[in-house]
Chain A
Amino acid sequence: MIAAAVAILRKDLKVEVRTRESVPAMVLFSVTVFVLFHFGLDRDTLEGDIATGVIWVTLLLAALLGINRLYVAERDQGGFTGIRLAPIDTTALWLAKAAALFIYLVALELVALPAFDLLLLGPGLDGALPELLAVLLLANLGLAAVGALISALAIETRARDLIVPLLLLPLLVPVIIAAAQATEPLLSAGQSPDDLAKWLGFLALYDVVFVLVSIAVFDFLLDD
């Protein structure tokens, strides 16, 4: 299963590098949203809870763009049929898509966070970088697991672009709660993160639960 997943992942990354469909759109979207927030909030610098809200909502909405497109090529160009015919566990497809989404999210954050720091953030990111990386890593895992499942769930529906955000946003509320609570003290000047361990633990629990659920149910989505 791992070998098949790695093969699909390499195919996806190669396609992404050549067509540049998802990641540049996600990056561009997030920078544009920062500009929108600058005018919408009418502030030059943000910190604390507002900075946390802006960065997490922006990352989440940018992730939605990538999640929406995750399986489009497979459906339109017969990838699903290929996976069904191949003598592999279909869960490999979920694993590959989740890994691809995780890599897209890391790429997005590599640009979006420095851009946020440069454009809007008041206190600066340098002091809290290791903690922030841990939060991002666990939140990305959750986003990738749930995103790869829900995207597959919505791909055969008539209104795919509508169904994905409708299903995904409530499902990701716990991730936003935990990530925002963990990030807020990091973005406020002169505050020490007190509950960080609790929130990282919760994010890890969320990740484990949804990875297991996805592995258990993904087979049935391709089972025709």
Chain B
Amino acid sequence: MTSVLFGKRLGTLAWITAAFMLAAMALVFFYAPEDADQGFRQKIFYVHVPMAIVTLFGFMAAGIFAIKHLRSGDRSWDVRSYVAIHLSIMLGVGVLATGAIWAKTAWGHWWVWEEPVLVSYLIVFLLYCCYQPLRFSIADPERQSRYASVFAITAGAFVPLNFAAVRLAEQYTHPRVLSETGGNMPGDMRVTFLVCIVAMALLFTTLWKLELTNKHTSEQLKRLRRRLEAQT
């Protein structure tokens, strides 16, 4: 890996993220009005929807990093792609959990097949869960990164197709989440929602950079230790 300074300005970014997260939470609880027919439970969307959007972008970004990796042969792009997928999977657990909590409070069931966005998300999540088993069952590190990138590109192309298929298959018997929170929201709700998305995106970026720095540092440490052992 080339020596990239992943940790550059990480501290500043972390403070900005913390400020945005705080502002987002304050807006959610004190500024945004309570939804007329959903009541207090609607507030979980301020976590659930931004998290889902950010992870989906994370998966797609991983595909783009993978394209760059295959084009340039620079392994650092593969690490970027890997960390993006890894983080998106972890936040994806949060998306499914918050979705299930909302479904339980709204309809009394932990899981509803009628909700196309949630179902498509589950399929995407299951697919990306196979990324790590695939990656770590290939021994050769160079081949490992190449194969992982091929997977990331294929899966990235799959994400929009899958959402289209599930959505086409639904008969809309229930209100849809996205049109509810996206299309006809009152102004103060929309502001809150946008701040929440920005905060979540910043959180993702901070964690991504932190993990990249961590990986880079431990690799350098290993290299230095090996050199030291060779000398003594």
Residues facing A in B149-163 (CB within 8 A) are 149-151, 153-155, 157-158, 161-162
Residues facing A in B84-142 (CB within 8 A) are 123-124, 126-127, 130, 133-134, 137-139
**Could you give, for residues 156-191 of chain B, a 1 whenever the CB lies within 8 Å of some chain A CB and a 0 otherwise?**
011001101110110000000000000000000000
Decide if B126 touches A170 in the complex (CB within 8 Å).
yes
Decide if B154 touches A221 in the complex (CB within 8 Å).
no
Decide if A209 touches B157 in the complex (CB within 8 Å).
yes
Decide if A173 touches B153 in the complex (CB within 8 Å).
no
Q: A64 interface residue, CB < 8 Å from B?
A: no
Decide if B123 touches A163 in the complex (CB within 8 Å).
no
Tell me what chain A mostly uses at the interface: helix, strand, loop, or mixed: helix
What is the total number of residues of chain A having a CB less than 8 Å from a CB of chain B? Answer: 33
Stretch from A40-48, A85-93, A116-124, A212-220 at the B interface:
A212-220
Of the candidates A157, A209, A216, the one having the most CB atoms from chain B within 10 angstroms of its own CB is A157
Decide if A167 touches B134 in the complex (CB within 8 Å).
yes
Instruction: Determine the residue in chain A with the shortest Cβ distance to B126.
Output: A170
Decide if A213 touches B134 in the complex (CB within 8 Å).
no
Instruction: Determine the residue in chain B with the shortest Cβ distance to A160.
Output: B137
Q: How large is the interface on B (under 10, 10 to 19, 20 to 34, 35 or more residues)?
A: 20 to 34
Question: A210: which B residues are within 8 A, CB to CB?
Answer: 154, 157
Instruction: Determine the residue in chain A with the shortest Cβ distance to B153.
Output: A217
Decide if B130 touches A177 in the complex (CB within 8 Å).
no
Contact status of A156 and B143, CB under 8 A, knowing A174-B165, A213-B153, A217-B153: yes
Question: B158: which A residues are within 8 A, CB to CB?
Answer: 171, 174
Q: A181 interface residue, CB < 8 Å from B?
A: yes
Decide if A170 touches B127 in the complex (CB within 8 Å).
yes
Decide if B70 touches A220 in the complex (CB within 8 Å).
yes
Q: How far is the CB of B19 from chain A (nearest CB, A)?
A: 38
**Could you give, for residues 100-131 of chain A, a 1 whenever the CB lies within 8 Å of some chain B CB and a 0 otherwise?**
00000000000000000000000000000000
Question: B143: which A residues are within 8 A, CB to CB?
Answer: 156, 224
Q: B57 interface residue, CB < 8 Å from A?
A: no
Decide if B146 touches A220 in the complex (CB within 8 Å).
yes
Contact status of A154 and B134, CB under 8 A, knowing A217-B150, A221-B147: yes
Q: How far is the CB of A4 from chain B (nearest CB, A)?
A: 21
Known: A153-B134, A213-B153. 12 other contacts (CB 8 A): A158-B138, A159-B133, A163-B133, A170-B124, A174-B162, A177-B165, A177-B169, A178-B169, A198-B168, A220-B150, A221-B146, A221-B150
